[in-house]
């Protein structure tokens, strides 16, 4: 089978983790974009509770932490990411109010209506956009915010090659209006959506991977799984350069709405 035809789901999670551990970010994004999304959120105070779900090593969490008051809990499934996350928080002396814990987005350790803000960059696809929005809503206070970034189609139609790739990698991919509608139906006011600029993928995601790929191939010389993983990552990047008019990452910001009772 050609590497191109392999699915991302066929590589072990440990290998993918190790690959991404050496990178500042595990998904497309930038400090500017994190701050832009944050600009739509107006309810944060010193005692606010914030969760960053699927935080990885915390690239975006640290930006958030330096620009908001309140306590932030980062949650990720992978202990190695959380270890790095907590080291990063300590490095900038924010370990008192920024804490990483190992946990699953499918079973979050929060109380109902505990959170003022749920943040999640490039991670909600692991549970699915719609399911995540629906299941996480109960943890937000009425009027609390959710801000997530998610791969989305920019157009109604697209070439078969890219359609096929994404339907295999993430069948939940959809157009922006459909995602906004899902957000509204899940009980949020859609406050903002914006497309992440290309530099979030190119400069901050794909280019840093180039040297990582070389290093990985050398370290694991002759290891077929590693070679396939790198080939897959390179193929994904090539597709992005070729088809970036048709898809990309989009930030969705929503505000939990509760109808007055009786309505």
For Cα atoms 111, 115, 116, give the angle at the middle one, nearest 5 degrees: 160
In angstroms, what is the minimal distance from the CB of 154 to ligand SAH? 20
In angstroms, what is the minimal distance from the CB of 72 to ligand SAH? 13
Considering only 118-126, 137-145, 177-185, 252-260, which stretch makes contact with ligand SAH by CB under 6 A? 118-126
Query: What does the block give as tokens for 162?
Result: 């890219």
Interatomic CA distance for residues 246 and 33, integer angstroms: 20
**Residue 132 binds to ligand SAH (criterion: CB under 6 A):** no
**Residue 29 binds to ligand SAH (criterion: CB under 6 A):** yes
Question: Cβ neighbours of residue 138 under 8 Å, at least 6 residues apart?
Answer: 112, 113
**Residue 248 binds to ligand SAH (criterion: CB under 6 A):** no
Considering only 39-47, 48-56, 192-200, 254-262, which stretch makes contact with ligand SAH by CB under 6 A? 48-56
Angle between helices 13-21 and 79-91 (to 10 degrees): 20
**Residue 55 binds to ligand SAH (criterion: CB under 6 A):** yes
- In sequence order, which ranges of the chain are alpha helices (DSSP H)? 13-21, 31-38, 59-65, 79-91, 129-136, 160-169, 176-185, 199-201, 207-219, 224-243
Mark 62-101 with x for binding to ligand SAH (rule: CB under 6 A) and - for no binding.
Answer: -------------xxxx--x--------------------
The only residue of 116, 121, 150, 174 in contact with ligand SAH, by rule CB under 6 A: 121
Q: How far apart are the first and last CA of the chain?
A: 58
Applying CB under 6 A, the residues found at the interface with ligand SAH are 25-27, 29, 54-56, 59-60, 75-78, 81, 104-106, 121-123, 126
């Amino acid at each position: 089978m050609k590497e191109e035809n392999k699915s991302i789901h066929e590589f072990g999670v440990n290998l993918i983790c190790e690959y991404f551990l050496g990178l500042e970010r595990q998904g497309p994004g930038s400090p500017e974009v994190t701050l832009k999304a944050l600009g739509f959120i107006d309810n944060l105070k010193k005692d606010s509770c914030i969760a960053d779900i699927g935080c990885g090593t915390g690239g975006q969490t640290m930006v958030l932490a330096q620009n908001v008051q309140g306590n932030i809990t980062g949650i990720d499934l992978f202990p190695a990411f959380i270890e790095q996350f907590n080291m990063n928080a300590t490095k900038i002396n924010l370990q008192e109010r920024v804490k990483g814990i190992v946990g699953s987005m499918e079973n979050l350790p929060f109380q109902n209506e505990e959170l003022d803000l749920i943040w999640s960059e490039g991670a909600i696809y692991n549970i699915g956009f719609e399911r995540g929005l629906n299941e996480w809503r109960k943890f937000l206070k009425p009027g609390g915010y959710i801000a997530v970034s998610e791969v989305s189609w920019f157009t109604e139609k697209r070439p078969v090659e890219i359609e096929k790739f994404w339907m295999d990698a993430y069948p939940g991919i959809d157009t922006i209006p459909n995602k906004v509608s899902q957000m509204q139906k899940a009980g949020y006011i859609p406050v903002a959506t914006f497309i992440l600029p290309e530099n979030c993928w190119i400069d901050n995601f794909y280019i840093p991977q180039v040297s990582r790929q070389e290093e990985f191939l050398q370290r694991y010389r002759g290891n077929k799984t590693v070679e396939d993983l790198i080939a897959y990552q390179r193929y994904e990047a090539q597709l992005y350069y070729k088809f970036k008019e048709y898809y990309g990452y989009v930030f969705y910001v929503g505000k939990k709405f509760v109808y007055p009772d009786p309505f």
